[in-house]
Amino acid sequence: MKQNIQNTKLLLPCLQVLRVYATNSVNAISLGKDGVVELMFKIVGPYSKKNTSLFKVALDALGALLKSKTNARRAVDSGHVSVLLALYLDWHRNDTRHRCMLIRKGLLVCLRNITNIKLGRKAFLEADGMRVLYNSSTECLPVRTLDPLVNTSSLIMRKCFPKNRLPLPTIKSAFHFQLPHVPPGGPVAQLYTQPPGVDDVVDESDNEEAETDTENDEDDKDQCNLNDDIETDLSKLHPKRTIGRPFEELKDYQNFFSELSEDFQGYNFEFSKSPSTTSSPYLFSSSSARFSRPVVVPTAQSPSPKQIPDSQDVCTSVKEHQTLPSPSLTSSQTPLDLDTIHISKDKDKKEDINIPTPARHTAPTSFSGSLSQGQMIEQELSHPLECLSLEDKGNQKAEAGSEKVKHEGSPVNNLRHIQSPLLLGGFPIRRAGGGGSNVGSDCGSEGTEDEGGEGAVLEVPDTAQLLPLHDPDLYVEMVKGTQSVPQYAEVAYPDYFGHVAPMFKEPLLERIYGVQRSKIFQDIERLIHPNDILDKVVYDIDHPSPVIEENGESLKFNSQFESGNLRKAVQVRKYEYDLVLNADINSNHYHQWFYFEVSGMRVGVMYRFNIINCEKSNSQFNYGMQVLMYSVQEAISGRPRWVRTGTDICYYKNHFARSSIATGGQKGKSYYTLTFSISFSHKDDVCYFAYHYPYTYSTLKMHLSKLEAMRTPQIYLRQDVLCETLSGNTCPLLTITAMPESKSSDHICQFRNRPLIFLSARVHPGETNASWVMKGTLEFLMGTSPLAVSLREAYIFKIVPMLNPDGVVNGNHRCSLSGEDLNRQWQNPSPELHPTIYHTKSLLQYLAYIQRAPLVFCDYHGHSRKKNVFMYGCSVKETVWQSSISTTSSDLQEDLGYRTLPKILSQIAPAFSMASSSFVVERSKESTARVVVWREIGVKRSYTMESTLCGCDQGKYKGLQIGTRELEEMGAQFCVALLRLKRLTGLRNHQHLLDLESDIIGTQSKPVSSCTTTYVLEEDEPSFLEAIDYSAESNDEDAEPESDICGEVHENFDQLSDSENNHRD
């Protein structure tokens, strides 16, 4: 070749041989030493209509040679990066008819391979490569056939975009909570032993290894590791009831199970409304002191976690502090101080003011005496609560809202007058459209009402007719007893008004071709045209109260309310904002949940929001999911609801570097951006955005208080305080069953011997859908339908509706205040650091000791990267079948009843997918609730029920995003499935189990995949395995390894083992 460089006829076949030879990395290095790289640059040249075949083959060979890092360095040292850019620009300008696209692509491939090394990226930037490729790509965009050039150029530019640190002083949470003790070696100890400034420095060692091209070499590696996480230790696969604690430690928990020994001798079955066991007050909040620890008033039977003051005195103090609604007060112009809130409703709705307080006393008013407590209950039960199908419920809601009202499409026509905003304490008010937080640093101070304050008066819809469990007055009372680390002093409007699920369908958003690429190009413009960037901080909780000019040029943000999460907002262009989420408290990662307020918007302008510090490598936002928005103006108009919104939504890797401290030592990782655009419809509106439908801890307390008022004499309902959390919030425990028919020994015996069902939810704060499913379950259980009655007569339900109140209150995504994922603490929970898990497990251990282990245990969760609702269970047989271990038939003896409940759900619940369910036990899940309860307590029907955050791709809801109506329906259908399970387990004939056996055998030959990650804290679910054309859209060829096998395992996803990779359950 060296001797015949001008002889094209001889050169071409030599290059063809060389091209094949260079694909081997050893050969490529050897050829590089012999000067072949330099030789290739002599052959390729500027634009010419001659020898195009020769150029094409030469570039293919050069591209193969440059995959070797040694050859890439050699090319950089020889100054060939600028040569390649000049050649590409020359071919781009002259190839006007696009007949030489393969040559242009070959030049880009050479650049792509050179920029896989840090030296190459530096040389590319110095040669002004970003501007060259950006301008040429922009010119190529109108021609669809040139997409391969645009995609490769985009990949190179994203790779070479200088890594930036997040615009934060530290990646630790903006809030700190002092733990009672910090376990040495734990995540919090590691977090706070780091020297200042180290935690968020961009790693200088972000070198060649960090950005190697993984498109060819990762598939085999991942395929080898597919089943590595499956448990293969047979001794761990066979559940053995090992309680591990002496009964002396557990016997106190019998106080939470008084129904197992209750004789009802003091109960009058004819006249009394409630049994003696339910006559004591169950307070979940105390408004007697601002931001003090709530007073825990346990039941007569529940153990006292601390020295409890006399309950009668507590009730008195609470009654004295409760400000009752007064009919004589109309909307005032004074600040809405939650301690002195007065709300008046329309005169024709005066009787609605008769609201049971948390202490279950009816608020006495001058006109409520004519209504008895029984009539109150009758009114509550007149609402459509008991319908099994929430579609029916929705239809009734629609009928209720179809009356002639002032606003078309408004489901609510009763208005409440209230002043904006809602503040705790006497803080300065802001107007309804003001946005921003004026909360002072002394959040605990008491203030007097500002009589001369100017506040906007809102006509608030009275949603009580459609939301039987919602009452704004009661919500305000509950907020007062909620303890937060930032000591929040405001109430978010959506939580106050309530949410009425819209009647219209919300389909999955169809992805526009090229939307992700266009967003990435806009990001690259920031580097090329830095003078166009404003870089103006408009909200920052690390430095409160930034000065915002009242010129209407900037939006105002706020997240200083319960469950809120937004750390910083930076205006980068006139209508574009970068948003940074706060890490979980006592943590430096888990950025996913967001909930914040926006105001000061202009109508008809398209705003772009970029959440720039997401962590997961893929998201359902790429597959049709939209963010949620709540408009205060819409609520005032009679449409108080969260709606799916946003256009141009995509999720992609950005140029902000993740610290190796936050990635478990992995270097070169980047954050991801969730971007969406929205045009606001109302002037002077206040809008809220959320990751999913918010459900706060105060909302739960309000719902539980309202459920108490729904109880009929036939329902046995008891609310206990299981324990206090680290910050002093109470963790409620519910017991629901049917009262015995009489005092006869037979009826009492039947009452005591009902099997137990144990349900829990919301261990992960960001999975708010779990609370909506739980709400559906609780409403059904308290209903009056024949199915609900039968269900209560069949079982005793023990329910912990919120396992992580502190995380929920403080806007965490995954952790509690201990900085740990509570669903990874079940093997050995700490009573000090993980009290809710410790005491919940103790309840189960006590039941195991007295031989009353639950028939079913189910923990409700949400899933961010799969569609539908599905279950994870535990099976020895299915785990063994998916692994390579050899076993005997005796090892596989197993009762197949674990499949019955999900099978029933797949038949009756339209959102449920049996195909997405899995019963494989994985090593990384051995400390989750599901596996521990199965293994240690001996509950064979131990499940995690996962509900999608996105929508469904099968059944009646196929193609639709999921809403609260569908989630609540799922909770109700779970109850119906339990009733069917009761009938099936009562059958002598076990033919249905044999049918299940055949179902399992039919699937055992299908392979299972479980994409593992290298760092446990990085991923908590497997990579999302829906098909998406990354070559055209994301250009993420250097993405996480798990992304590379997406296409291959898509068909096998139905049999995926325990989805949640390393962290999900």
- Candidates 218, 477, 490, 946; catalytic one: 946
The runs of H, that is alpha helices, within 336-389 are 373-381
**AA letter at 91:** W
For the record, the structure tokens of 614 come out as 């997401």
Nearest Cα residue to 849 out of 348, 241, 285, 256: 241
**DSSP codes, 450-463:** -TT---PEEEEE-G
Which residues, 6+ apart, have CB-to-CB distance to 898 below 8 Å?
873, 874, 875, 919, 940, 941
Bridge-partner residues for 1014, per DSSP? none
- The rounded radius of gyration (Å) of the Cα atoms in the chain is 31
Q: Report which DSSP code applies to 562.
A: T
Measured CA distances, 651 to 614, 623, 862 (Å)? 9, 10, 19
Long-range interactions of 240-247: CB distance < 8 A, separation 24+? 240/935, 240/936, 240/938, 241/848, 241/853, 241/936, 241/937, 241/938, 242/935, 242/936, 243/845, 243/848, 243/849, 243/936, 243/937, 244/845, 244/936, 245/842, 245/845, 247/849
Q: Is there a catalytic annotation at residue 946?
A: yes
**Six-digit token pair at 415?**
């208005």
CA-to-CA distance for 664 and 681, rounded, in angstroms? Answer: 44
Report the alpha-carbon distance of residue 115 to residue 491 in Å, rounded: 51
Q: Tell me which DSSP letter residue 740 carries.
A: P
Burial 527-563 (b: 16+ CB within 10 A, else e): beeeeeeeeebbbbbeeeeeebeeeeebbbbbbbbbb
Residues 6+ apart with CB under 8 A from 638: 405, 406, 407, 410, 411, 412, 413, 461
Peptide bond into 421 cis (omega under 30): yes
Structure tokens at 302: 């529940």
| 623 burial type by CB count under 10 A (0-12 exposed, 13-18 middle, 19+ buried) | buried
Place of tokens 């761990």: 236
The residues facing 857 across adjacent strands are 758, 942
Q: CA quadruple 581, 587, 592, 596: dihedral positive or negative? A: negative
Nearest to 584 by CA among 560, 568, 567: 567
Q: What does the alpha-carbon distance between residue 453 and residue 614 come to, in Å, rounded to a whole number?
A: 40
| Residue showing tokens 């409007």 | 493
Q: Strand pairing partners for 606?
A: 679
Length, in residues, of the chain: 1065
3-state secondary structure of 91: helix
- Position 838: which residue type? Y
Residues recognised as catalytic:
946
